Structure 1
């Protein structure tokens, strides 16, 4: 193959974080082992949390030759495409940087209570704390469930939070009476995202997250003891097990009280959620494919041993309380055996291809670059005048702008997630 072939394999990187699944119980380790990532040595006791596929400077992908993907794309600008390079110039697309980052996550215990800044806030945080917030980009993200997956995402509807304040005295003890009263008076508003309603929710959330440690630890101990002996109000039934799980993973952590503030969603394979800038969330368990704008900016405030930045998290949230369906991304048919997940942002969309043995799917050219990961099975990718590339579970490949693609399963099922960007 020539050096400018539009389709080629790339080598992802693996990340070990405390919350990752250990050894081969992790999809990350399974994919790294199956695809024989150079230098990867399996440790059954290590927590394999993330597989990164892209050009982010913190952990860039490489070609089989060892060249970084960004260097190769900078030298062969046609692979990104002129329109994408121009539209995402501020993200460095003209220099070979993709405007999105694709990941696989394997989650054994909760990630932190967190949010991601918008671009304006990201630029400020990067300037003020460059060692913590290492780039100036925003990080809207989409999570697609590979297995059963649970998460906290976005603020609960206001009446539900008010119900917890009435039924859960340990939670209510963290909120000053004046703030609780103001929130209760607005919780049944016909405009839950109005300015006054958002301000009341912000005051309540801030009061909880900044509660004195001696207060919230005492109340959490009381709450856990009550739940363990089976004293649970009806409204608490759906979060009882979640609170106990979070407390077992992070004893005495304020993040456990976010069960009374954020939507608890349970997803099945094929479901997807989108989290825009300023939406609070925490992934709880499961395996996912995740796509995001190219950034590693995370503002944390609970359920983590890492740096907590409560003031910036409180200031950066949208406080748009809503049913969790607000965050769901509805899949749409895009081609034979292909489903499109298209969140409301320009940086990325994701195609999921699922082929039975012997089946094939054709994809029309995309006016921008793609990164694809094989999550199951094996088969072949074809393009151009009959060129083909064999692919199997765990392998990652790049697709250049304008390449018409054909995917075909071999003697077993083939499942591929393809993240792409194009400029309208």
Structure 2
């Protein structure tokens, strides 16, 4: 399902070709821009008037029947902690202040959704026009802990959460690398606790808010073989015996062959020189309109040129030849497993991940850990499944999509409430965080004619409002005034309820 993942007429190999057209006139939290037909999507600032109009329009309608279960390929973590429990008791709700980060690859000023949400949240007092805002984060990790509105750390009141909720605004490509699994995280932390500050793994889920570009996972061996044959500059960085193994390998030793190619490329002393030659050749071919080959190859070549422009002094511009390139439509999601190489190229998204700050860099960064990267990566091939969420709830003027990869750490739900609509917040057996990403509304008007909740549970909802909801029954309703010009859109994250409910049933 979902949007365009490659240049027409071809599709990115390894990604489902069961696509439906994306209505580029539909905008809002799940659509703001459309990718350029002539090349890669690049972030462009949106005029304020257009932005206000865009965020007022509804998202694509939900499916009329429940879709099949999501097809995330990775297994659950073997080490599952007990579900988090609130220390203040069940049935409470608190306003949260998050953290905003600036990074070189962020979108500048008010064009960054991360900055606008942080401003509405209250954690950003002054929005600087030239600052590259990259991440708006909600969670209890020590690197960016969120607080209650009185300044008290959430972790001090409620304990540690096993996941993080982020909104990312990406202008230039992020560093490319992989997050460790549990076993690797422990060994890396013992090796260097400053670079690898914790012992947790970091699977993560990305939900696109705009057309979103990413590099994820190694290409299939047939694609790698064709790229080596068509790209002499890449072949010059890979030992002949590694290329031979790739051409002669079977399914049984495919990972060994891919590892051999990647390790040879990582250790090559000619990467910088050959990258320069490749960029010069591709620029000449594209300017003269002489580029040849299938659509996915042309897209990979354009990605090389884009990375060479944004990261001229750093190793990694060849990575689009080794990794799958994805163009993800608004509302679509993909899962990144531990030990899987990836980088975000451009766009804005919601990211939900395990609570960790471990990252092994393999390119597009000044600091690269060659030995750790070669040892860490899984070397699985093929792109990730890219899908919309599953319809979890639908009522008059409201619907909820659930994004639940097969990991115990987290899940996400995106709820849309149309003007005049109202829904009662579902009770979960674990704590959750709710974030408003578009529109406005209010809490405190209960459904079914019940008595109003305490004053502390009444909140005005605007983009950036974040609420911490404890486990248990709250009977809190969210409503949108009928006079609003557009819907309210919420993202709610918690531990994966499939595993939580199974654990509860077993006990």
* TM-score, length basis structure 1: 0.88
Query: Are 1:275 and 1:327, in contact at CA under 8 Å, matched by a contact in 2?
Result: no
Matches within 5 A, 1:18-417: 18-37=104-123, 40-73=125-158, 96-186=159-249, 189=250, 191=251, 194=252, 196-212=253-269, 215-230=270-285, 231-235=290-294, 236-305=297-366, 307-322=367-382, 324=383, 326-336=384-394, 337-382=399-444, 385-387=451-453, 388-404=458-474, 405-410=476-481, 411=484, 412-417=486-491
Displacement of 1:34:
2.7
Query: Are 2:105 and 2:173, in contact at CA under 8 Å, matched by a contact in 1?
Result: yes
Displacement of 1:403:
3.2
Displacement of 1:327:
3.5
Partner of 2:44: none
Displacement of 1:313:
1.2
Quick one: distance in 2 between partners of 1:407 and 1:183? 56
Quick one: distance in 1 between partners of 2:284 and 2:375? 38
Quick one: distance in 1 between partners of 2:207 and 2:99? 20
Deviations 1:110-159 (A, max 9, x none): 01111000011111111110111111100000111011100000111111
Deviations 1:330-380 (A, max 9, x none): 511111210000011011100001122112233431110111111101112
Normalized per residue, which structure has more strand?
A: 1
Quick one: distance in 2 between partners of 1:364 and 1:377? 20
* TM-score, length basis structure 2: 0.74
RMSD: 1.6
Structure 1 unaligned residues grouped into runs of 5+: 74-95
Normalized per residue, which structure has more helix?
A: 1
For these two proteins, the number of residue pairs brought into alignment is: 388
Structure 2 unaligned residues grouped into runs of 5+: 1-87, 503-507
Query: Are 2:418 and 2:488, in contact at CA under 8 Å, matched by a contact in 1?
Result: yes
Query: Are 2:331 and 2:388, in contact at CA under 8 Å, matched by a contact in 1?
Result: no
Query: Are 1:220 and 1:252, in contact at CA under 8 Å, matched by a contact in 2?
Result: no
SS class of match (2:480): strand
Quick one: distance in 1 between partners of 2:426 and 2:107? 37
Query: Are 2:97 and 2:122, in contact at CA under 8 Å, matched by a contact in 1?
Result: no
Partner of 1:92: none
Quick one: distance in 1 between partners of 2:478 and 2:465? 14
Query: Are 2:97 and 2:121, in contact at CA under 8 Å, matched by a contact in 1?
Result: no
Q: Does the C-alpha gap of structure 1 residues 284 and 60 become closer, same or farther in structure 2, counting only changes over 3 Å?
A: same
Moved more, 155-164 or 329-338: 329-338
